[in-house]
Structure 1
């Protein structure tokens, strides 16, 4: 008799536990949505909708690569108003879900390659000629790599994201004085940079090594952000951070996909970031081409092989 009563109590207890569990999930989801919308509204107050790249509608016929992994085409656009812009920054973010690893390949914008339907040009002109879809086709044709997603980031979105995520700034060792064409002045030395100054740091290229140094600084900044942004507290802020940057980003990624990948990026136990630059060393010449100026005439096969070795090792 007592055993029967005990079993009845256990049966009554399980629905209560399930209800509490569902309520907790609902509360977490509701809080995340509230934080996301708060971030979106925060940015919408500052954004110039007429100049907003995120309002443009693009087609993109992407898919997972031949290894079953996810690649994101990350483009930094400096368009002003309705003018067509070449991509100022071109990165391939390679994500292996099983390993929890991120690998970032920076393609230098002056790489001289075949653009489908347009002949040979600097690779950054593919964006102006046909948006992210033509850039995807260009990378597929030259490097035999499929890209599933794209994200075009307005530089002001980068500033807002850094300021929200790092109230005290990102710690960076600035290697030299920088000021030309970056709207800020940076002094050498280890220091914390706010969004505007970190943007200036990753865009500076007016020195002896030009765009090579700029690409190196971009990869250095990504690693610094990863190292300094990790941890439970930042993961809890993810919905708001994504909300802050969303009005500045044009992407075909769902918010849920972005949250999932960002969570792994910030997790302390999911591996580190490795980087590659294309063209690799000893794989290019620097001729001047009529109508293009100075270009990086790359050995496509050598760089394609290096890219595939990098993402599969």
Structure 2
């Protein structure tokens, strides 16, 4: 009997030892991939310097009760522009590991808003005037949303991230021919797009839909990237992916926090990323001001309520 117990203990010990070795191997591989990604990024001399136009440190909200639900301000800019950047893409990403849900709010850049301590203007002007902190204040003032973190990614970094994650490209059904002002020429049909092509698809707005179509396509791209990230192939490349894009990202998230969010995302992947576009339908009119040009004049209460219901209560897709 004692002999059987000893043998059983040996088997258990061997199994635990195998798991221990596997865990070490996974973490070693992860860090190797991460630093390999950093080295690849550093070879590229086109990596932009970080934005320097913010006037104040980002004062993100504290995550209440440590429940894990996080709101991240995502900003896309083109650092190759010589002038100070007005962010081209403004999104709020929310992930809740407890409910395994992910949500994305796209704020159209021409929304006319109150900018604290400045004249009312388009929402993307807040970033131009005071960086992510002034934009955070502007979003809080107009929509009453608490943001915990921010991340600014340059478009060059987006291209590199896509190519590192999916060397054969991301499958997208391109709905029409696209080429004007996007740096690539796309033809209609289901196809795999590399980083530069996917960025062009997401930025295209030279048609009747204009900026509304661009926002819709950006949300399509986010869901397509999500599917690639949580695939078995994508999971093994995540550390390298983080290392590759790090030089192109400005964020108040630390590397370990990023890895932690990625870990939660992988262990509790959402089936779908619910999306909301602001302004919602029937809540805005086209307007124009001498100092701001063409803008979207919105019903703030209607849109504030839509965001609150979307992030805190519901989660139905409302891209429109």
TM-score by length of 1: 0.89
Q: Shift of residue 153 of structure 1? A: 0.4
Separation in 2 of the partners of 1:23 and 1:308?
46
Correspondence 1:27 to 2:21: no
Change over 3 Å in CA distance of 1:269–1:73 after alignment to 2: closer
Separation in 1 of the partners of 2:238 and 2:51?
20
Find the counterpart in structure 1 of residue 151 from structure 2: 151
Matches within 5 A, 1:1-313: 3=2, 22-49=20-47, 51-53=48-50, 59-64=57-62, 68=67, 69-80=69-80, 83-265=83-265, 270-311=270-311, 312-313=313-314
Determine if contact 1:54/1:247 at 8 Å carries over to the other structure.
no
Q: Shift of residue 269 of structure 1? A: 5.3
Q: Shift of residue 106 of structure 1? A: 0.2
Separation in 1 of the partners of 2:303 and 2:208?
24
Structure 1: gaps (5+ residues): none
Q: Shift of residue 60 of structure 1? A: 1.2
Separation in 1 of the partners of 2:269 and 2:200?
31
Determine if contact 2:79/2:155 at 8 Å carries over to the other structure.
no
Separation in 1 of the partners of 2:186 and 2:139?
34
TM-score by length of 2: 0.88
Give the count of matched residue pairs. Answer: 310
Change over 3 Å in CA distance of 1:32–1:116 after alignment to 2: same
Post-superposition CA distance 1:224-251 (Å, at most 9, x none): 2223443223212211111111111111
Determine if contact 1:74/1:92 at 8 Å carries over to the other structure.
yes
Q: Shift of residue 14 of structure 1? A: 7.8
Post-superposition CA distance 1:176-212 (Å, at most 9, x none): 1111111111111221111111111101112122101
Determine if contact 2:104/2:273 at 8 Å carries over to the other structure.
yes
Change over 3 Å in CA distance of 1:22–1:208 after alignment to 2: same
Structure 2: gaps (5+ residues): 315-320
Separation in 2 of the partners of 1:119 and 1:146?
22
Post-superposition CA distance 1:17-64 (Å, at most 9, x none): 766655443332222111000011111111435x32378887211024
